[in-house]
Amino acid sequence: MIVAGVGFRHGTSADEIERVVRLALGTHAVRAEQLQAIATESDKATEPALPEAARRFAVPLVACTTGDLARVADKVLTPSKFALEAKGVPSIAEAAAIVVAGRNARLLGARVATERATCAIATGDGR
């Protein structure tokens, strides 16, 4: 399973989210057709731009609780001071990708960022 974990600022556009996901996929030489899900933290999943971005990739959007994200904190590569202050977890993009990638999940590398969004790609055996 290949998952894009996404974190972003409130009000970020679907275009910006699509751009950061494509940037992350390209950084790790993963084709968009290989993507199987987009994941984020539960509150972020309610932002209108994220379901639209998932629709553009024709993949499901999976929401993770902060408890889910905290359980994989030791696996993140790039802790975020902002995520820690805002949500009490060291990562949204990287942790969400790991959670949804499931068993044997691993990040393909550190998250990538645009001005308003971050994305990390993880692979694993699924939940």
Residues contacting residue 49 through CB under 8 Å, at least 6 positions apart:
8, 12, 13, 14, 16, 17
Domain count, the chain: 1
31 is in which domain, residue-wise? 2-123
The pLDDT, as a whole number, for residue 49 is 95
pLDDT tens, residue by residue, 93-126: 999 999 999 999 999 999 999 999 999 999 999 8
Number of Cβ atoms within 10 Å of the Cβ of 114: 15
CATH number of the CATH domain containing 46: 3.30.420.180
pTM over 0.85: yes
